[in-house]
Amino acid sequence: PLMDFLAGNMTLGTVVFIYTVYGNLSWPLFSFVHGIRDYHRSMADFNALFGYGKIQQEIKDKIGAQKVSIKEGKIEFQNVGFKYGKRTIFKNLNLKIPKGKKIAFVGHSGCGKTTFVKLLYRLYDVNTGRILIDGNDIRNFKQESFRGEMSI
């Protein structure tokens, strides 16, 4: 439009009109395209998240495992040891979290924050020691009922 205006083929009013319409339409279109992109990213994240429930569990319930009965919610890690291959993540970890207490884990990447949660949810079993909830070893609970009672 600017070149047409300079060549005398278009009036100033027409140029202003075109740029105004462009400005009014470009932002909604831009937002729409980014919204579609964000939607697809979110759906990929949801698929990954809900895919965890479909993964065949490597950790099996003990024979005679009981449905969980959490009364207080006191958590205790007793001499917990865990390794990924040869890499030690926890060695003799002892921690008590009283009923109703809120805690935060802070640390650099790879220090064990996510592993701690995965052990607590029993996505992995400890190599040594035990994790107790209300004095009961989490390995004695049926995983499905146990995870249904947990929240972070």
Instruction: State if pTM tops 0.75.
Output: no
Q: Residue 110 belongs to what domain range?
A: 75-149
Into how many domains does the chain fold? 2
Q: Are 82 and 90 in contact, with CB atoms under 8 Å apart? A: yes
Query: Along the 152 residues of the chain, how does pLDDT read in single tens digits?
Result: 677 777 888 888 888 888 888 888 888 888 888 888 888 888 887 777 666 555 556 778 888 888 887 888 899 999 999 998 899 999 999 999 998 888 888 989 888 888 998 898 888 899 999 999 999 899 988 888 777 777 66
C-alpha distances in Å from residue 80, one per residue of 28, 95, 129: 55, 9, 4
Mapped onto helix, strand or coil, the DSSP state of residue 44 is helix
Is the domain of 31 the same as that of 94?
no
Is the domain of 37 the same as that of 94?
no
